[in-house]
Structure 1
Amino acid sequence: MRIIKNTLFLILIFIIPSCYAQKEIKEYYYQIGKKKEVSVYKYVDKNNPKNIEYWKVTTDPKTNTILTESYTTDFRLYNIFEEQLNTKGAEVIRYADFEQSDDGQNIRVNGIIVDKNVYKWVDHNKYKYSINYKSPRYGNGQMIKARTKNKYENIEVYGTKYATVKFMDEYEIKYLENGQNYDFYQFTYYAKGIGMVKYQRYHPDGTTIELELKDILTEKEFYTISKKNSK
């Protein structure tokens, strides 16, 4: 009887920390509330304040999905990324890029999802998501993003202190028709109850982009400033 009790005790020792780790890291990702909500994250490049991105994040508890629509400084939609949350983490279910034609029109390029793993609640190993697509300008291509948990870190962004979990993200973009590859990497920081607050992206030519969360706007505020600046 004592052997059984000791065995059960050892099992609990391993199960409890694992469950806690799963809950803990999940709290750093974008949160889904009890009703559908839209928030617009304004990111500013620390190395070039004129470089601004707006990520319109829509969370829906009915479908357990997160839709992110990304806009450039001049409010041009350039990417759609939709994820679904499950017991293991966040998986991409829809992806599209938008290329700008010579006459300024947005051309939608729908991606075909190959690998789905965006953000795992429990995994210290490398995981990835990958997208195949056909670009009008560059032909058939593939984008692969591999992610590895790095560490927990306290950072400060625009005067606000955040407790974050930090990831190492490795990107590979393949142009299949001409055999060219483009690789870069970044460190991505997620804060509890908020989602991504910063990334540091390093390109092979030596340039660095450091997007930092400056503000979180309402959908109405975003619409107002986009209309004002598009005139």
Structure 2
Amino acid sequence: MKIIKNTFLLILTFVISNCSAQLNYKDYYYPIGAKKQVNIYKYVDKNNPNNIEYWKVTTNPNSNKILTESYTTDFRLYNIFEEQLNENGAEVIRYADFNKSDDGKNIRIDGTIIDKNVYKWADDSKFKYSVKYSTPEYGNEKFIKERIKNRIENINVHGTDYSTLVFMDEYEIKSLDNDQTYEFYQLTYYAKGMGMVKYQRYHPDGTTIILELEKILTEKEFEKLGWKASR
């Protein structure tokens, strides 16, 4: 009887611990504080330091939304991604890409959201979001991103240790006009209280991009960098 009781307690402890871990998945996503806040995440490609991305992340506790505006090395806006947070996770509610025209202007391409699951707080199954859009170069396309939780891992990025939740992400870009598909995948690392600190992206031609968080800038610091680059 004592052996059975001890076995039952061990199983119960495991179940409670597992449930607790699932509930804590939200802690690894971009945090929302008591007031609206803007942070600019500067990511640098480990394989090519000249490849830099700036993600301007605006968190709003009043609407429970996160707006991410992504910029290239030369401070050109190339993507807008807005999420609504709810009791189950984060869902995409707005998506737009920007293509650079021959005269240097940004052409906005708004996407129509089909599937909306970006991040789930307590779900170990595979989930996805997808968007349809049309471009002058490639016509009608569908962008699909599927992800599944992979593991918890401690990593070091630019001298800082992080406890991270790792996802396996699979990407698919379908040309709806000529039935062609481009696929790639990546491992994405989210740190507690920080959001994304790293991803390792693998393209079918053998190219690997390792984007790592170098620092978080204020809005004024980001604007100053952009102003200097335009001089």
With structure 2 as the length reference, what TM-score do the two structures score? 0.92
Q: Per-residue deviation at 1:22?
A: 3.6
Alpha-carbon shift at residue 80 of structure 1 (Å)? 0.2
Counterpart position of 2:112: 112
Which residue matches 2:188?
188
Counterpart of 1:139 in structure 2 is 139
**Alpha-carbon distance in 1 for matches of 2:124, 2:208:** 26
Deviations 1:77-108 (A, max 9, x none): 00000001110000000000001111111000
Q: Distance in 2 between matches of 1:16 and 1:95?
A: 38
Aligned to 2:212: 212
SS at match of 1:220: helix
Q: Deviations over 1:3-36 (max 9, x none)?
A: xxxxxx9xx8798546523431100000000000
Q: In the aligned structure 1, how far is the partner of 2:141 from the partner of 2:17?
A: 41
Amino acid at match of 1:40: I
Which residue of the partner structure matches residue 200 of structure 1? 200
Q: How does 1:61-210 map to 2 (within 5 A)?
A: 61-210=61-210
Matched residues in 1 for 2:58 and 2:16: separation? 32
Query: Which residue of structure 2 aligns with residue 222 of structure 1?
Result: 222
Residue in 1 aligned with 2:5?
A: none
SS at match of 1:142: strand
Q: Which runs of 4+ in 1 moved over 6 A?
A: 12-15
DSSP-derived class of the 2:223 partner: helix
Partners of 1:202 and 1:217 lie apart in 2 by 28
Q: Gaps (5+ residues) in structure 2?
A: 1-8
Amino acid corresponding to residue 166 of structure 2 in structure 1: K
- Amino acid of the structure 2 residue aligned with 1:70: S
User: For 2:35, what is the secondary structure of its paired residue?
Assistant: coil
Amino acid at match of 2:128: K
Moved more, 15-24 or 75-84: 15-24
Distance in 2, matches of 1:153 and 1:200, equals 14
TM superposition shift of 1:183: 0.1
> For residues 80 and 170 of structure 2, what CA distance do their matches in structure 1 show?
20
Give the match for residue 38 of structure 1. Answer: 38
Provide, for residues 176-226 of structure 1, a one-character-per-residue CA deviation record: whole Å limited to 9, x for no partner. Answer: 112111000000000000000000000000000000000000000000001
TM, length-normalised to structure 1: 0.92
- Measure the CA separation in 1 of the matches of 2:114 and 2:207: 30
- Matched letter for residue 157 of structure 2: V
Aligned letter for 1:95? Answer: Y
Gaps of 5+ in 1: 1-8
> 1:40 deviation in Å?
0.0
For these two proteins, the number of residue pairs brought into alignment is 223
